[in-house]
């Protein structure tokens, strides 16, 4: 390794790896685009809805994402800004794809929570916030769509505290109400920032006018009512609000709040600048019993996501690796936790969504893509010196089930390949009934929309038309302990015994009552809902 410890520490210090979380349609992918815009990674930002432009968002690279205007899979983007190297994990907001989001959060050092100013804290935001809280990672809040009619800023802060149970500190304060958004007041610098009119519909970086709140020009620019209200609100905040404490932020006990509008770029750059100063660089990771610091010169990393067919022309599979310690170098040899065998990493890639380039070196905090010939699994660990295990990525029980088979029996081979690859991605869970052929599978998914994506991808990526029959099951439970043969269990007539991808026995239940029946009627039976 041709790098000193000091150089490694410098590279770690300038890295920021974070996920953006929100309820669907809060503007998450749009915010990602704008961060890329200010980082110089793209010159024109495409929004997901893109009313006045035909551009699509960079992070939405799947055709189905462009058609539906939603993100269905996490994407990774790396860019530089003011000396920082930034890795953004843009996650699907839709609850049907929440499992992908949960896995992605394991690879993030902090999270940006995006809230729609008009709607406040929504259901999916609560779920994702809880995951972040459970992991103890810092959470930064961007209250979006302030250019539209929105809730009162003070009531939004109160909602964050009441619903999420976290104290908040507004870093800036919006000027203007009910869609008449003039700009923001920066509390730290004690200055007003007014934004120029944007005629590009948020596609280009915009400039702003900054000066002290005492500057008489602002009184004229804002008008007396707006100016007086701002002065009043600033006094109120200074008297009644929490003190800013960075230590509490880093522990996940206090969330800094920023107000702005991603669509029109209001407040995006000030947020980015402050966020980079406050957010943590990569920290230690736990591998089994072992805690590994990023400064450790031995290379370690883990696989948190697998994506098939990112390049439809090449039908490839990419495993996403989060680097935890040491320096990654192209062609390096590592020990693969699943097989225990040494493997060579010859085609590592860095991403700008679907655009990628071969990377020669990467550092802790970086996310790189590895060409996967079919050997990687989610939560696999890679190390330059020893066989490690990483168990920090949970697999959640599916809540929707369907029986699937190919309409054309001549395409059985493509069908099996497609189903298995998409299961390895973690997009679906597959089960088969014991002692029955593999012509059909039972597929489990967190949300119904995943079945639509499954149908679409099998058709477009594997040329397979799917025969899909929805089933009434709502719960999957893995058998932890059992006396005797699973086939001899006393269960209700509607309960089904299946095996998962790794041939573990699983029971599918229609309701909670059936689960309790199975536990009552079978002594020594224990079940779990996470594989």
DSSP letters for 446-479:
SSTHHHHHHHHHHHHHH--PEEEEEE---EEEEE
- pTM flag (> 0.85): no
Same domain, 43 and 175: yes
Give the end of a domain, one of 248, 278, 308.
Answer: 278
Give the end of a domain, one of 278, 294, 309.
Answer: 278
Residue 377: predicted pLDDT: 84
d(CA 509, CA 526) in angstroms, rounded, equals 15
Q: Is 102 helix (H, G, I), strand (E, B) or coil?
A: helix
- Residue 188 lies inside a defined structural domain of this protein: yes
CA angle 239, 258, 353 (to 5 degrees): 165
Give the end of a domain, one of 278, 295, 316.
Answer: 278
- Residue 140 lies inside a defined structural domain of this protein: yes
Q: What's the chain's length in residues?
A: 531
- Residue 487 lies inside a defined structural domain of this protein: yes
Cβ–Cβ under 8 Å, residues 461 and 475: no
Residue 528: predicted pLDDT: 85
d(CA 197, CA 182) in angstroms, rounded, equals 10
User: How high is the mean pLDDT in each 10-residue block of the chain (531 residues)?
Assistant: 85 94 81 82 43 43 44 64 88 53 85 93 84 88 89 92 94 80 84 66 50 69 79 84 89 94 86 95 92 95 78 68 94 92 86 69 92 85 91 73 92 89 78 80 83 85 91 92 90 94 90 95 88 63
- Residue 9 lies inside a defined structural domain of this protein: no
DSSP state of 409: G
d(CA 31, CA 145) in angstroms, rounded, equals 11
Residue 502: predicted pLDDT: 79
- Residue 99 lies inside a defined structural domain of this protein: no
d(CA 356, CA 76) in angstroms, rounded, equals 10
Crossing angle of helices 449-462 and 412-425, in 10° steps, is: 130
Same domain, 304 and 418: no
- Residue 395 lies inside a defined structural domain of this protein: no
Same domain, 211 and 325: no
The tokens describing 35, both together, are 């961060």
> What is the Rg, in whole angstroms, of the alpha carbon atoms belonging to the chain?
25
Beta bridge partners of 460: none
Range of the domain at 230: 20-70+112-278
From the list 320, 305, 338, 368, the residue with the least C-alpha distance to 99 is: 305
Number of domains comprising the chain: 3
Find tokens 């022309």 and name the residue: 313
Ramachandran sector of residue 364 (left: φ over 0; alpha: ψ -120 to 50; beta: rest): beta
């Amino acid at each position: 390794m041709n790098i000193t410890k000091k150089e490694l520490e410098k590279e770690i210090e300038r890295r920021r790896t974070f996920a953006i979380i929100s309820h669907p349609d809060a503007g998450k992918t749009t915010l990602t685009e704008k961060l890329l815009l200010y980082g110089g990674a793209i010159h024109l930002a495409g929004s997901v809805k893109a009313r006045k432009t035909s551009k699509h968002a960079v992070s939405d690279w799947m055709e189905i994402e462009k058609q539906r205007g939603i993100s269905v899979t996490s994407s990774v983007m790396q860019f530089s800004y003011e000396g920082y190297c930034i890795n953004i994990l843009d996650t699907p907001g839709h609850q049907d794809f929440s499992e992908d989001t949960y896995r992605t959060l394991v690879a993030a050092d902090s999270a940006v929570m995006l809230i729609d100013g008009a709607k406040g804290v929504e259901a999916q935001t609560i779920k994702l916030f809880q995951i972040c809280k459970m992991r103890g990672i810092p959470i930064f809040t961007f209250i979006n769509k302030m250019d539209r009619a929105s809730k009162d800023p003070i009531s939004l802060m109160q909602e964050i505290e009441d619903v999420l149970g976290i104290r908040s500190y507004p870093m800036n304060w919006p000027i203007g109400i009910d869609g008449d958004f003039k700009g923001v007041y920066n509390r730290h610098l004690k200055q007003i920032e007014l934004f120029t009119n944007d005629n590009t519909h948020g596609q280009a970086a915009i400039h702003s006018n900054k000066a002290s709140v005492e500057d008489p020009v602002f009184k004229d620019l804002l008008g007396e009512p707006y100016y007086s209200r701002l002065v009043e609100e600033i006094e109120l905040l200074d008297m009644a609000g929490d003190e800013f404490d960075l230590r509490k932020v880093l522990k996940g006990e206090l969330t800094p709040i920023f107000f702005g509008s991603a669509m029109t770029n209001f407040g995006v750059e000030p947020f980015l600048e402050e966020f980079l100063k406050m957010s943590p660089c990569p920290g230690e990771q736990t591998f089994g019993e072992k805690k590994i610091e990023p400064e450790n010169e031995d290379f370690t990393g883990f696989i948190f996501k697998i994506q098939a067919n990112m390049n439809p022309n090449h039908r490839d599979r990419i495993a996403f690796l989060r680097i935890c310690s040491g320096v990654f170098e192209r062609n390096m040899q590592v020990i693969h936790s699943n097989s225990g065998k040494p493997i060579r990493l010859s085609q590592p890639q860095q991403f700008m969504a679907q655009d990628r380039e071969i990377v020669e070196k990467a550092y802790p905090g970086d996310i790189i893509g590895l060409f996967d010939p079919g050997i990687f699994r989610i939560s696999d660990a890679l190390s330059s010196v020893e066989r490690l295990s990483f168990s920090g990525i949970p697999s959640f029980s599916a809540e929707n089930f369907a029986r699937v088979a190919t309409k054309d029996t001549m395409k059985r081979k493509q069908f099996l390949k497609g189903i298995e690859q998409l299961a390895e991605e973690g997009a679906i869970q597959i089960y088969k009934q014991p002692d029955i052929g593999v012509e059909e599978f039972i597929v489990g998914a967190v949300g119904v929309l995943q079945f639509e994506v499954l149908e679409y991808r099998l058709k477009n990526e594997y040329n397979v038309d799917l025969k899909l029959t929805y089933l009434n099951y709502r719960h999957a439970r893995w058998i932890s302990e059992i006396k005797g043969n699973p086939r001899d269990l006393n269960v209700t007539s509607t309960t089904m015994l299946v095996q998962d991808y790794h041939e573990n026995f699983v029971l599918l239940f229609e309701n909670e009552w059936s689960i309790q029946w199975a536990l009552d009627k079978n002594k020594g039976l224990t079940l779990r809902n996470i594989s």
